[in-house]
Structure 1
Amino acid sequence: MKFIVSEQHKSQEKRKIIFFSALIAIFIAGFILMFISSSELSNKVIAAVGTFFLAKYLLHAYQNIKNNDNSYPVVEILEAQEKIDISHKGAVVSMPLSDIESLRIQSIKGNVKSLLLTTKSFSNLRFEGYENLAEMAELLKKYTPAGKIKNATWYHR
């Protein structure tokens, strides 16, 4: 069964990036104002360093917004072959389902919000925002060792 990230999750993440980018732009404007209006060297250095680091974040945020639709991997659970295929930008990584060590199902108000999968080969995999996440959880439960499935009501990000 193939799982893709929902359009709702993609747009929600894009809104978060735009909001924080606007907030960072306000801080950069404040640093520039501080740089121009201050006569002390220490304030100018702080403003220049702050502007430099925040501008790097803005560049990264722009790239995230531009590549938003292509930045989420597609997960395919192949029960017949007993493996998980994770494909992203043309590359496919396969993992046997027997490598699953534990599964944590994180839910809010009965709705599955994310899955944390601990494996032998990749250590931790997190699945969030995928369509049919509850179905993915049920499939992964079949291959998780007994006693290693935990339902977490506290949602960890």
Structure 2
Amino acid sequence: MTLKDLGRSVGNALYRQVGRANGQVQRHRSLPVDVLENETAYLVVFDAPGAEPDDVQVRYLSGSVRIHIERFREFREGYEMRFPGRGMELEGEAELPSDALVNPDAGTATLTESGTVRIEIPKADSATDTTAEADEDIVSADRTDSGSEAGRPEPGAETEGVTVDD
């Protein structure tokens, strides 16, 4: 092994470690989010760079909108990975105002071409519209963040699924 090969090997190892550290920082840092309100609904907008609809999970839980994204890194023919700096798992959370009464079952989520997830949650007419019955099956696009192997929440779990549209 020549000195040049040794330098390249050390450089590659450093790039990989820095890239992994950067990816971990992204994973633990909450995604940027905006919370907007009009007369009829709340609009929660998360940055979701590089996400596909099947990568996104959206949940409503106790006045909070949570998002989890598991992205896929494409293989590039003829290229070698030198710096894997993008985190493949991203998360974010947005608290709605403490006095917000919403109907999460009627919520919709849309992944835009510009890489944002827009979650619209209609306001409820009364406090009775804000909770789901304990035995009601509620699931997100393909997976839940808590629950049984069948992808259904455990009885009594306070999660609300939101469908992710293309």
| Structure possessing the higher relative contact order (Cα contacts under 8 Å, 6 or more residues apart) | 2
Q: Same-fold call, TM > 0.5?
A: no
Task: Point out the structure with the larger helix share.
Answer: 1
TM normalised by structure 2 equals: 0.28
Q: Larger radius of gyration, structure 1 or 2?
A: 1
